[in-house]
Amino acid sequence: MNQAMKTIEGWYCLHDFRMFDWEKWKSASEEEREHAIYEIKELINMWDRIESDQKGSHSVYTIVGQKADIMFMILRPTMKELNKMETEFSKTSFANFTKPAYSYLSVIEKSSYSQVATNPYEDPAIRAKLYPIIPKTEYVCFYPMSKLRGENTNWFMLPMEERKRLMFEHIETGRPYTDQVKRIVTGSVGFDDYEWGVTLFSNEALQFKKLIYETRFDEVSAVYGIFGSFFIGNLLKQEEMEQFFHI
């Protein structure tokens, strides 16, 4: 049996993508629309307090293209709290104007490829990665991915040292983009359809294309990478909501 890479986990993560029913929204009365905006803003205010207490984090983005209209990215300490958040959202009148488009469930994960701390949970640098505040950059890029498990080429049958070599090569390719692009990597084996979720944050959308294109030439991506759909979004600040949904 091949050796499995040990991982340490942080907060649970939900990417909740919604389509917005603009026809229903335009048919609603001004009072109904105002109440819906009020309720979603109140819910986000509650999320803000949770974030201030460092008990989770969140961000809201409008999605470009036809895959979805809005993405809520939520981090919470437990799966139960993610479920509670979903229920709280569903109870708002704002939710009545949305329809689920896609979702992705995972947990922040750090592998031991570069882990050196005896107790990683006591390392401030590692804790910052396991329990982060979601960057409020102008743009976001999310995609799920897996590693190939083919009959002849199988990532999970590579020796541990070979997997380490390939991952360090991959990390080095992305190092020049450290300042321009922040990332949160989440594990989803047993939680969702792919094995990892990757969320990138930047104030310049073009940096996503440049970074992902360069890493395509790494052996770990070129030979073993399997990618799902890509979602690109713009940050939706709470003070911009009324203008965005204004008819």
Q: pLDDT (tens digit, 0 to 9) for every residue of the chain, 247 residues total?
A: 678 888 999 999 999 999 999 999 999 999 999 999 999 999 999 999 999 999 999 999 999 999 999 999 999 999 999 999 999 999 999 999 999 999 999 999 998 765 555 788 888 989 999 999 999 999 999 999 999 999 899 999 999 999 999 999 999 999 999 999 999 999 999 999 999 999 999 999 999 999 999 999 999 999 999 999 999 999 999 999 999 999 8
Q: What is the pLDDT of residue 1?
A: 67
pTM of the model: 0.95
Q: CB of 195 within 8 A of CB of 189? A: yes
Rg, Å, the chain Cα set: 19
Q: What is the pLDDT of residue 122?
A: 86
How would CATH label the architecture of 8-244? 2-Layer Sandwich (3.30)
- How many whole angstroms separate alpha carbon 117 and alpha carbon 21? 49
Q: How far apart are CA 197 and CA 187, in angstroms?
A: 6
**pLDDT for the residue 134:** 98
Is 102 an annotated catalytic residue? no
Burial of 12 (0-12, 13-18, 19+ CB in 10 A): buried
Look at residue 117 in the predicted model and tell me its pLDDT. 56
Question: Annotated catalytic residue: which of 102, 104, 139, 143?
Answer: 143
Residue 149 has a pLDDT of 93
pLDDT computed for residue 6 by the predictor? 86
Give ∠ CA 234-167-230 in degrees, rounded to 5.
Answer: 25
